[in-house]
Amino acid sequence: MQLHSEEDFLQLIDQYFPETPGSVLVGRGDDCCILPGGSNLCLSTDLFLEDVHFRRHYFSPEDIGYKALAVNISDVAGMGGIPKGFTLELMIPDGLPEDFWPSFFRGMSRLADQHGLTLAGGDLSRSRYLGIGLTIWGEPGASGRLLTRGNARPGDLLFTVGAIGKARTGLHALEEFGAQAANDWPQTVQAHLHPIPRVAEGLILANTPGVRGCMDISDGLARDLPRFLQHCPQSNGAELDFSSIQHNDELLRWTHQRDQDPDHWAWLGGEDYGLLGACSADARQELEKRLSNVAIIGTLSTTRGIRLNGISLKVKGFDHFDSFPS
């Protein structure tokens, strides 16, 4: 059997591992699963692999340690939860510089300290390639609520929190110019190397009436919005309008120099680690009052497909089975 996409792979997993009713509250397909208990826990796991997710010629060891943890924290943020702890698995090749691991752990521990995270255990192995695996868990905030990707309905507003397309600019600058890209594209390079997990914003969303669903934006809107819509059975599509998005100056300069449409560039995105969600129309004022970096980007629709300013969008965005970068 040939696997051409992540969806193919996930369907194969579903075939061999059907979910057992009652074993989890929310299973595969969301940012985290939710485990039942005295206090519901959300749990997620991610890999961070050399030459798939990062390149050592422009990621410092400290950058690698930071981002490996940050992308996992972002999954908990996408549920509106508080990250509590993690396990760490390391695949260690020969030939790393002597100061690699102290620098790696320095970058990771600083972020862990910011969020009060405990490293609970893990494993390590010698390997031909450098790789990091993390499993992270969190729990609800004061609202007692964890946000999932479902529940949104036609007429609800779609919104993003945090910049979209900014990290994509930094990635392409790094791919083209290497570490020197930081001199001319400092903001977007920083966005790619050091994404900010939106934990505080996720907690606000979980505590805001009328917010019906949320997820983190890891692979870009072009990939993640269709995933979000899959969990909204009453809505088959979306009408998008990016007029409320204030694109980063470096993104605008990059797209102008290459005769690219900034809205389409932001749509493709990738590595944003912002948040995507839906809320009822009457919740908009309260949402914008509570979050200064929220942007309303469209409306859920009963018409199949996704349209930006009335024009159908067919690009699927990043897929792990495609070439790197997207």
For the chain, what are the domain ranges? 6-140, 157-312
Query: Does pLDDT of 324 surpass 50?
Result: no
The residue behind tokens 């479902």 is 150
How does residue 325 score in pLDDT terms, banded at 50, 70 and 90?
very low
Average pLDDT over residues 12-29: 65
Sign of CA dihedral 264, 278, 292, 75: negative
Q: Which residues of 165-190 are buried (b: 16+ CB within 10 A; e: fewer)?
A: bbbbbbbbbbeeeeeebbeebeebbb
What is the enclosing helix (H) or strand (E) of 79?
Answer: none
- To the nearest whole number, what is the mean pLDDT of the chain? 89
Determine contact, residues 136/75, Cβ cutoff 8 Å. yes
Give the residue, 37 or 320, on which the prediction is more confident: 37
Give the residue, 234 or 275, on which the prediction is more confident: 275
Class in CATH terms, 157-312: alpha beta
How does residue 243 score in pLDDT terms, banded at 50, 70 and 90?
very high
At 42-53, the pLDDT tens digits run 999 999 999 999
How does residue 256 score in pLDDT terms, banded at 50, 70 and 90?
very high
Query: Residue 121's pLDDT is what?
Result: 80
Determine contact, residues 303/236, Cβ cutoff 8 Å. yes
At 171-230, the pLDDT tens digits run 999 999 999 999 999 999 999 999 999 999 999 999 999 999 999 999 999 999 999 998
pLDDT more than 90, % of the chain: 70
| Residues shown for the chain | 326
Number of H helices, E strands in the chain: 11, 12
Query: Residue 125's pLDDT is what?
Result: 87
What is the enclosing helix (H) or strand (E) of 167?
Answer: helix 166-177
Q: What is 6-140's CATH number, 3.40.190.10, 3.30.1330.10, 3.90.650.10, 3.40.440.10?
A: 3.30.1330.10
Query: Does pLDDT of 28 surpass 80?
Result: no
Average pLDDT over residues 288-299: 96
When mean pLDDT is compared across 27-31, 74-78, 88-92, 112-116, the lowest value belongs to: 27-31
At 130-162, the pLDDT tens digits run 999 999 999 999 999 999 988 899 999 999 999
Q: Tell me the C-alpha distance between 45 and 96, whole Å.
A: 25
Q: What pTM was computed for the model?
A: 0.86
Query: Does pLDDT of 326 surpass 50?
Result: no
